[in-house]
Amino acid sequence: MNDLYIQNNLVCRSSEIWKNKALFFKSEENDDLKAFLKKAYQYIEMDYPKFFKMDNLSKLAILNFEILIQNEKIQDPALVFANSNSSLDTDQKFQKSTATFASPALFVYTLPNIMLGEISIKHTLRSENIFLISKEFNPSLYTQYVSQLFQDKNISETVCGWVDLHNSEYDVLLCRITRNGEVKFTEENLQKLYDQPHE
Of these, 94, 137, 142, 170, which contacts another protein (CB under 8 A)?
Answer: 94
What part of residues 1-20 is at the interface with another protein (CB under 8 A)? none
Which residue type sits at 195? D
How many whole angstroms from its chain centre is CA 24? 16
User: Any residues with CB less than 8 A from the CB of 91 and at least 6 apart, and which?
Assistant: 110
Stretch that binds another protein, among 23-31, 34-42, 86-94, 188-196 (CB under 8 A): 86-94
75 part of the interface to another protein, by CB under 8 A: no
126 part of the interface to another protein, by CB under 8 A: yes
User: DSSP character for 17?
Assistant: E
Least Å distance, CB 100 to another protein, is 11
User: Any residues with CB less than 8 A from the CB of 3 and at least 6 apart, and which?
Assistant: 150, 179
What part of residues 130-169 is at the interface with another protein (CB under 8 A)? 130-135, 138, 141, 144-145, 147-148, 152, 154
Question: 45 to each of 8, 89, 164, 193, how far by Cα in Å?
Answer: 21, 27, 24, 27
186 part of the interface to another protein, by CB under 8 A: no
User: Any residues with CB less than 8 A from the CB of 44 and at least 6 apart, and which?
Assistant: 25, 63, 66, 67, 70
Q: CA 155 to CA 176: how far, in whole Å? A: 13
Of these, 118, 157, 164, 171, which contacts another protein (CB under 8 A)?
Answer: 118
Least Å distance, CB 104 to another protein, is 4
64 part of the interface to another protein, by CB under 8 A: no
Interface residues toward another protein, by CB under 8 A? 79, 84-86, 88, 91-92, 94-95, 98, 102-104, 107-108, 110-118, 120-121, 123-135, 138, 141, 144-145, 147-148, 152, 154
